Structure 1
Amino acid sequence: MPTALIADDEPNLAIELASRLTQFWPELQIISMPRNGIDALAELNAQQPDFAFLDIRMPGLDGLQIARSVPHMQIVFVTAYDEYAARAFDTSAIDYLMKPLTDERLLKCITRLQRGGRMPADSREAAAASAPREEAPIRWLAVGYRDATRLVAIDDVIYFQATDKYTEVVTAGHRHVIRTPLKELLPRLDAAHFVQVHRSVIVALAQIDRVERDLLGRSRIHLRERSETLPVSRGYVSLFRQM
């Protein structure tokens, strides 16, 4: 059974959309209807629905910021603002629906989702032509913390480390987990501040105290604010030859 999340800070609009989706697509299960961007991102990471219907303007994080944080997710934007269309199609957007939404337009979107398709290429290109494609580096991360959602500033992150199922986000005093794999996270980080040093490790350059080699020629990073050391793969050792 396909699942979906609806995020909108106006609960009546979210309920209306959920009702119409259920009417036209009875098999679709609406699993969550968060009212702000931070909760929406947390729910997407925790529940991994098949589809997400996102408003653009929401408290905490907007829909575009959320979409860039979950590039694997199938996103439909539902908004009253047409000026965001170009940037929306530079994310993982499948469709861009304008409020007030007609039944005909919603049915076309549902058909597209059921077929696994996206907005026709000519429509996406026309919308994207008026806006730059470069995305700003992420500046925050929404992470689960006990029974709440916590917003972690990217400047507080010392390193990211991949585990079997998650990515650890390590700060001076805490370890958090997110579901975004390193290969999707790395392009969204500022290359002037973060560098990959191992297939499972990305580290903040400002947090590197020194790099030492043992008798076997293996390099390890010593951190400024944490006691553990991080491995450096042979392919990345050249990054530190001038350090």
Structure 2
Amino acid sequence: MSASSSASTKPVRAILADDERLMREQLRSRLTEVWPELDIIAEAKNGIEAVELVRQHRPDLVFLDIRMPGLTGVDAARQIAQLPEDDDWLVPEIVFITAYDQYAVEAFEQGVADYVLKPAERERLLLTVGRIKKRLALKQGDEVEQGGSTAPLQQLLHKLSAQLNPGAAPSYLQWIQATVGSVLQMIPVEDVLFFISDEKYTRVQTARVEALIRKPIKELVDELDPALFWQIHRSTLVNARAIDGITRDERGRQLVGVKGLSEKLEVSRSYTHLFKGM
């Protein structure tokens, strides 16, 4: 089935989140003009509501005001990005709403996420809608041309956090305290090849040892340097410097090879854009 026929039978579902009612109404009105088939299923007044509505309704697309009380749009996006996926639902596309052009960073233009400046202008919104439609088609596997960004969504969120809090320099984990057999060891983060989680533990793999920690992946994502550790699955982070190549199995899934190990790490559909062109 083509992307156009799929879109006609299953409308794209969206959630709007902005603490200003008039801004929500204005954006809804403009979206109705430029994307009449878009199904806006819910609206949120803050970031906490936005995360909960995404959890409940599992939309394809979320518009998030960057500055909201309680939970900023950036913090809400971090939580949304960690929601569990399945065969019927992937983490939604994110569009940030901002009154400040300074947040329209280069990463937006590269396709990790997108942005709309307040008040939403028709021409800029048309550009955003076109990019979102293309990324949704790529997610469905109906297009083969290159799309997405070379940087993960979490890297963009860290950049935005730095802009929202310019005086707070990012501080990333330097050591992992992990159990190796019956011994507690301090492992330098740069030595870790990958982290992979099950329901209870997260496995820490280096070239020489395999260790266990209780910290989940969703916490590690925020604590590790996103330029060094890429999330390739909701349960997997890989050291970008340790990637030895990308292959596909008989089912068409992307698999990451790790230097010095025979083990392959599966890439979920949400993160295949990291390896376009490889």
Q: TM-score, normalised by structure 1?
A: 0.49
Q: Which has the higher contact order (CA 8 A, sep 6+)?
A: 2
Indicate the structure (1 or 2) with the bigger Cα radius of gyration. Answer: 1
Q: TM-score, normalised by structure 2?
A: 0.44
